Amino acid sequence: MTRIGVTGAAGRMGKVLIEAIDEADDLTLGAAIVHPESSLIGADAGEMAGIGKNGVALAGNVADVKDAFDILIDFTFPDLTLENLEFCSQHGKAVIIGTTGLTDAEKEQVMVAAEKTPVVFAPNMSVGINVMLDLLHKAASVLGDDYDVEIIEAHHRHKKDAPSGTALRLGEVVADALGRDLKECAVYGREGFTGERSQKEIGFETIRAGDVVGDHTVLFATMGERIELTHKASSRMTFAKGAVRAARWLQGKPAGLYDMQDVLGLKD
């Protein structure tokens, strides 16, 4: 049975990941890692996550439990994710990364590490969002430059990066389908006398409020009609189940950088 390590185990996403792994028949929680100064170190991971004792003691460092897991799932922060990835690439551990907010330079580091070990890296592990990405590319290709594109996303008040990694990925897919460079055509919010909208810009609007798990809408609008593609996540479990699905798929894969489109067989 494949052993899974979860880092950031005491966080909102970490607890849900532990629950999702517990529900899987073919995976088991091998390690759970928290902050090295956490008072929870040594406590039972299952009890901490609210699913009952499972015999896995919370650790303060990936290195302390390197022999207890085969695949590490990381939904933490860029700096920590890159540290964990480097460790795993040196010790033959596969990695699933759901961390967002990485810079282009940090993404390059992920690519380099993936030359040594298999990595699934996706800004959103939801199966639904990844189906939406597939639909979005087709829609943008057919609609073309005659339709204005706006991307609206909403998340809880605690989210630190904006726009969300998912929103940016949605924008990248649209830009690719339309033959544009997102770095050149993206507009992040509008204020004041902005003038008329240019034909080829892709707009982003960000909402941070309450406990919104994650809402994303891509709006295509032209004179006389508009099309909206929307995905709404009501529970973090949707991301956890996607990560579990990625873990199953990643078993036995060679070193390389993969995403959820690979996991779901959506690539041509």
Q: What are the chain's domains?
A: 2-121+236-263 (3.40.50.720), 127-233 (3.30.360.10)
Kindly report the pTM of this predicted structure: 0.86
Question: Given the structure tokens 């994303």, which residue do they identify?
Answer: 216
Percent of all residues in the chain with a pLDDT value above 70, rounded to a whole number:
100
Residues tagged active-site = 155, 159
- What residues contact 69, with CB distance under 8 A and at least 6 apart? 3, 4, 5, 30, 31, 93
**Predicted confidence (pLDDT) per residue in 204-261, tens digit:** 999 999 999 999 999 999 999 999 999 999 999 999 999 999 999 999 999 999 999 9
DSSP state of 260: H
Helices 237-250 + 12-23 axis angle, to 10:
60
Residue 264 DSSP SS3: coil
pLDDT of residue 267: 79
- What residues contact 99, with CB distance under 8 A and at least 6 apart? 74, 75, 76, 77, 78, 81
In DSSP terms, 27 is beta-bridged to: 2
Q: Is the pLDDT of residue 268 over 70?
A: no
Read off the tokens for 65: 């439990």
Q: What is the C-alpha to C-alpha distance for residues 192 and 200, in angstroms, rounded to an integer? A: 20
Read off the tokens for 210: 């309450």
